Amino acid sequence: MAEQPDLDIRHLAKGYEFPSFHVALDPDGVRRYLEAVEDASKVYYRDAPTSRQDCLPALAPPLGAVALVLKALLDQLKLPEAAVHTAQELEFRRALAAGAHLACRARVAQRSELRGAVISVIEFEIAEEGGESAPAVLGRTTIMAAQDSPGRSQS
């Protein structure tokens, strides 16, 4: 078995490309997300349900899909105890279907050190497997961590 690279956010160089990964937008999980954020919009359902308990959504809320992808991405990293998610930029190009399988790519776009902290900007893209080849979502997320803080595994 190949040895896993050190994925401590403080040690990843600019240009590092994460292994591509896949995430499934389970329709029941999408429904639970909509309930959790109390989104009562009918736009996510093909037929306006009288009871959302009995109906699965056809579309996924964009931020719900991004949250799932970012969790999968951050689960690959070793983050120090005091790591902070400081910023995020998102560009939504089209809707994602509930039930879709998403192909995700990410890379360290910027890395800087300032006063004992490492600041990393990770660019990512999300596309539907088997769908259009152009990404449905483009994003950037920024993580700041102290250089000398102890690391912990997210797995």
pLDDT in tens, 96-130: 999 999 999 999 999 999 998 999 999 999 999 87
Do 80 and 147 touch, CB atoms closer than 8 A?
no
- pTM of full prediction above 0.85: no
Which positions ≥6 away from 85 have C-beta within 8 Å? 141, 142, 143
Report the C-alpha gap between 75 and 44 in whole angstroms. Answer: 28
Judge residue 119's burial from the number of C-beta atoms within 10 Å of its C-beta, 0-12 exposed, 13-18 middle, 19 or more buried. Answer: middle
CATH number of the structural domain spanning residue 83: 3.10.129.10
By 3-state DSSP, what share of the chain in percent is helix, strand and coil, each rounded to 5?
A: 20, 40, 40
**Total number of domains constituting the chain:** 1
Does residue 30 belong to any structural domain of this protein? no
Which domain does 137 fall in, by range? 9-25+60-153
